[in-house]
């Protein structure tokens, strides 16, 4: 998992700057065309997988505090000097065709804010899926236990 510098800034601004929190977050799937780095700021800087067949542009919406679509595991680990939160398992089922509908498979998952303009959504964190992921009809792309971790160096 990689925190972007934008994500670090947003977290500090939301907590200490008392800025309004997003009402929801999204996890979008992007290709390896452009490798996300700590300096990636918005979804427009990356190549999102093609919309359709069970994947919706902008990704999977997550509402904090919702009983079904939320961050579901919180951990404080005093032994390893860290705290973490996990996102519930995310599942995209291919229906009517392959996910993605065209182009390359998903190599990265990115956590974004909820900007109404999908391309302007700010990248908070990135997970490397290790290899391109696709799903044929009836199969799934699933992400389990995506974790955000804060560690004291």
Place of tokens 């799903």: 135
**CB contact at 8 A, 21 and 63:** no
The whole-angstrom separation of Cα 71 and Cα 66 is: 9
* Interval 27-74: pLDDT, tens: 999 999 999 999 999 999 999 999 999 999 999 999 887 667 688 889
Pairing of strands 82-87, 71-77: antiparallel
Residue 108 has pLDDT above 80, yes or no: yes
Give the single-character DSSP code of 38: T
| Two structure tokens written together for 23 | 């009402």
Share of the chain above pLDDT 70, in %: 98
Share of the chain above pLDDT 90, in %: 90
Query: Could you tell me if residue 127 is left (phi over 0), alpha (psi between -120 and 50 degrees) or otherwise beta?
Result: beta
**CB contact at 8 A, 134 and 62:** no
What is residue 77's three-state secondary structure?
A: strand
Domain assignments of the chain as residue spans, ordered by start: 2-151
């Amino acid at each position: 998992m990689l925190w972007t510098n934008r994500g670090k800034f947003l977290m500090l601004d939301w907590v200490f700057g008392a800025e309004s929190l997003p009402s929801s977050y999204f996890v979008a799937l992007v290709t390896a065309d452009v490798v996300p780095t700590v300096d990636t700021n918005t979804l427009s800087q990356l190549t999102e997988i093609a919309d359709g067949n069970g994947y919706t542009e902008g990704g999977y919406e997550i509402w904090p505090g919702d009983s079904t679509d939320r961050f579901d595991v919180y951990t404080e680990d005093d032994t390893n000097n860290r705290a973490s939160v996990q996102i519930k398992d995310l599942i995209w089922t291919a229906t009517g065709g392959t996910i993605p509908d065209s182009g390359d498979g998903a190599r990265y998952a990115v956590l974004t804010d909820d900007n109404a303009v999908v391309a302007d959504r700010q990248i908070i964190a990135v997970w490397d899926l290790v290899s391109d992921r696709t799903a044929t009809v009836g199969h799934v792309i699933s992400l389990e236990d995506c974790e955000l971790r804060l560690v004291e160096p």
